[in-house]
Amino acid sequence: MSDRLPDSHRPLVPSDRTRPAGPPDYVRVGMPSPPWWAVVIVLLLLAGAFFFGPHYYRTADYWKTFATGRTVVFVLSLVILVAILRARRGGRAFVRRIPGLTAIDEAVGRATEMGRPITFSLGLGGLDIITLQALAIALHVVRLAIRFGTRVILTTIDPTLYAVADEAVHEAYTAAGRPESFNRDDVRFLSDRQFAYASAMVGLMHREQVASNFMFGQFFAESLILAEAGNQVGAIQVAGTPTTTQIPFFVAACDYTIIGDEYYAATAYLTREPVLSGSLVGQDRAKMLLLAVILLGISLVTVLTLIGSPQSLQWVKDLAGLFTNAK
């Protein structure tokens, strides 16, 4: 099998480079050491000096607390904004390969080879951010399946979501130039009851003998029921949910599981949209910055405690309290 990445998993930011030599678990979508980090650090120091200076600190308690939260939001937003602008200008980022998302091609290809359909469950959520993310992943699967003439059966538990999903899938077929291939019976509202929905999904997988099963969205007690049904029909299964209590069941019963921030990074990873990919990289940079500040604070408190400087130590504790109580 070729080591070249499939088209759907090329760098998040368009590039004519193929995957370079390196660890197999990573995709380099490249970004050189950004000089704007120095600017961010300087802005952070200036903001700290302005908001936490001795005179200002002692005379404006309420405004000081109020402004602290705004300062943090401003700095983190600046980091994300810079990353987005760099991505839109063609800058490259470094994004770890996500095996579960890479396996989408494998799952669709398997269904195509076997001549059997794919099922995609949008979970038990309504029109919320979790389910909309699942729908975005579903549309990627649908577009990929359209290219190979593979049938995708999309199921929902929410009637409003059903209407949105039906129209979105129809638009995907139209955009691909194959509106006549769209079958409205393949977008289904099964039930608005948890276990009635689960029972309908189990029956659907057994009747259709699906080759691949995707489960993305909010899942609860029915997660293992659905995953075991997929196992019984021999389907390759890819699942993802931010519901932490259900992740162990998906890990145990599915071939690939999307966990943690991977779930919300999926759209950027799959679409390579510059704004989304830049936002993804910027959020990771912001998390690194927050972690660095936390480690710096811990180190500072430790050193001040060891050298016995109670006044400075109290100042650091008060400063940390501002972030704790920031509005």
Phi, psi of 123 (to 5 degrees): 80, -165
Residue 232 burial by Cβ neighbours in a 10 Å radius (0-12, 13-18, 19+)? exposed
Q: Which domain holds residue 216?
A: 99-271
And the tokens for 115?
């001549």
State how far the alpha carbon of 271 is from the alpha carbons of 13, 264, 265, in Å. 9, 13, 10
According to the model, what pLDDT value does residue 281 have? 84
According to the model, what pLDDT value does residue 155 have? 97
**Low-confidence residues in the chain, pLDDT < 50:** 1-34, 54-60, 63, 327
What contacts 311, CB < 8 A, 6 or more positions away?
A: none
Residue 3 burial by Cβ neighbours in a 10 Å radius (0-12, 13-18, 19+)? exposed
CATH number at residue 192: 3.40.50
Cα–Cα distance for residue pair 237/119, rounded to 1 Å: 10
Residue 136 burial by Cβ neighbours in a 10 Å radius (0-12, 13-18, 19+)? middle
Phi, psi of 17 (to 5 degrees): -90, 145
If asked whether residues 190 and 312 sit together in one domain, one would say: no
And the tokens for 321?
């309290």
3-state SS assignment for residue 122 = strand
If asked whether residues 174 and 297 sit together in one domain, one would say: no
State pLDDT tens for residues 142-170. 999 999 999 999 999 999 999 999 999 99
236-240 and 256-258 strand pairing: parallel
State pLDDT tens for residues 246-303. 999 999 999 999 988 889 888 888 887 777 888 888 888 888 888 888 888 888 888 8
If asked whether residues 178 and 71 sit together in one domain, one would say: no
Which of these, 52, 42, 34, 43, lies nearest to 73 by C-alpha position? 43
**How many CB atoms lie under 10 A from the CB of residue 278?**
26
Q: Are 142 and 175 in contact (CB under 8 A)?
A: no
According to the model, what pLDDT value does residue 245 have? 93
Bridge partners, 240 (sequence order) = 216, 258
If asked whether residues 139 and 225 sit together in one domain, one would say: yes
Is 56 part of any domain?
A: yes
If asked whether residues 265 and 279 sit together in one domain, one would say: no
According to the model, what pLDDT value does residue 308 have? 73
State pLDDT tens for residues 30-39. 344 445 565 5
According to the model, what pLDDT value does residue 32 have? 42
If asked whether residues 158 and 263 sit together in one domain, one would say: yes
